[in-house]
Amino acid sequence: MVPPHDPPSNRPQSSSYAGFRHRLRTAEMVLGTWTGTSDPMIVEAMASSTAEFLVIDGEHGALGRQGILTSLIAARAGGARTLVRLGGDDPVHMMAALDSGADGIIVPRVRSAAEVVRAVDQCRYPPQGSRGFGPRQAGGYHRHEERYLEEANRSVTLLVQIETAEAYADLDEILDVEGLDGVLVGRNDLALSMGLSRDHEDPQLLEVVEDVLSRARDRQMVRAIAAGIDPSAPAALRELGANVVAGGADLEFIVHGLDRYLEAAAEGLREARAAR
């Protein structure tokens, strides 16, 4: 494996899995971004930025099990921490992501506290859970398995997405599940599920999102939210109660950058023709 890059000097560093989990819970703001491709050059380039973490998107991204592994290796080479959003709560996929070195798991579309209890069980080793043992990359390719086993239960981060009306109705019970670190609010799906506008400035949606974040903050939990590429969004979301923002995604940055370049180039050509 390519040796990891030296991290950017202005990126806050967590020296261990446990350090990252603690930072997500306690920091005023942690910034990351999303990747849904398995191209290792793109993932490594993003990981070597000042983003503290990458969310590797196994739900909406073009990733299978091998793609997630490739992305995790590339992100590690770039020096970023990683959260893997699964396509569901399948224990095999969760175990594979953790064995491959993910710092944490995001489970989408939860609807009840019972589902969260199951997710906690699947990502912790006995006696706290039922995760099977086989940490390949996470255990240093068999070199550090015992150390990983000793640290994993107190170090792996587990977030669930609050993005259904059922989850919002069961929110207090979900947040009280022992072993859950926090939530990631999925505003678009939550709005659709509750019959609200997907406009992120809609007062009714804002009230719901702020309520979710407030109840998580009262329990000193991670309060994460996904955002687009508007650089003003993290500050606004912090005011709303978030302390972790995953902003933009690989294809979004590529498309946005390409469109802005082509628009500016076309405008420059028009101005040059007009000046002849």
Residue from 5, 60, 142, 144 carrying the catalytic annotation: 60
CB 211 within 8 A of CB 201: no
| First CA to last CA distance, the chain | 55
What's the length of the chain? Answer: 276
Secondary structure, 3-state, 164-192: CHHHHHCHHHHHCCCCCCEEEECHHHHHH
C-alpha span between 31 and 46 (Å, rounded): 13
5 catalytic per annotation? no
Catalytic residues: 60
